[in-house]
Amino acid sequence: MSDEIIEPDTADLQRRMDGAIASLRTEFASLRTGRASASMLEPVMVDAYGQMTPINQVGTVNVPEPRMVTVNIWDKSLVGKAEKAIRESGLGINPQLNGTIIMLPIPELNEERRRELTKVAAQYAESARVSIRNVRRDGMDQVKKAKGAGMSEDDQKLWEGEIQEMTDAMIKQVDAQLETKQGEIMQV
């Protein structure tokens, strides 16, 4: 047996947990809160030149006023495809054409739609929590392997505690972001 004891890679675990938080932020940004936001169009993909392309790569996305998003499509031949992509995206927005500019008036959210969106936000948060817990499980597996390779029981408890603290801190971040997002959605 070697004298070198393998320790869990906490930097890698932290990076992976941060990735789950970043993914959650992206998903939250795509949720409509009643005000216009250019990020709400991020998930929209346009069939441009034979491949699916993000809408911000076929035109300029602007927010000229609080309840309006505009997309200035660079290539006239893609205007119809971009409009179709927005209609089919499930955002619940009816695009209006004005030459190469697609205008997206953002309607006021009703109470029922707000409640629906808070449930979607909660699903996104739960998905992030599951990702973080999976990273924790991987970390705990690393600790078990290290114990099998000669790590002392005290070191094992120390590492397990550190990984659990990291997990708890990340879960708190997810919960705080969810609370903030649900507050934004329910705000009239």
Range of 22's domain? Answer: 10-28+110-186
DSSP character at residue 76 = G
Distance of CA 1 to the CA centre of its chain: 44
Residue 55 forms part of a structural domain:
yes
Q: Which amino acid is at 131?
A: S
Neighbour tally for 180: CB within 10 Å:
12
Q: How far, CA to CA in Å, does 164 sit from each of 77, 147, 158?
A: 54, 17, 10
User: Could you tell me the CATH number of the domain that includes residue 150?
Assistant: 1.10.132.20
Residue 21 forms part of a structural domain:
yes
Neighbour tally for 116: CB within 10 Å:
14
Report how far residue 94's alpha carbon sits from residue 88's, in angstroms, rounded to the nearest whole number.
Answer: 10
Final residue in a domain of this structure, among 81, 105, 129: 105
- Regarding whether 143 and 88 lie in a shared domain, the answer is no
Report how far residue 86's alpha carbon sits from residue 41's, in angstroms, rounded to the nearest whole number.
Answer: 8
The confidence score (pLDDT) of residue 34 equals: 63
Residue 1 forms part of a structural domain:
no
Task: Answer left, alpha or beta for residue 66, where phi above 0 means left and psi between -120 and 50 means alpha.
Answer: alpha
The confidence score (pLDDT) of residue 2 equals: 42
Number of domains comprising the chain: 2
Query: To the nearest whole number, what is the mean pLDDT of the chain?
Result: 85
Residues of the chain with pLDDT under 50: 1-3
The confidence score (pLDDT) of residue 163 equals: 92
The confidence score (pLDDT) of residue 1 equals: 39
- Regarding whether 179 and 114 lie in a shared domain, the answer is yes
- Regarding whether 90 and 114 lie in a shared domain, the answer is no
- For tokens 């927010």, the residue is 63
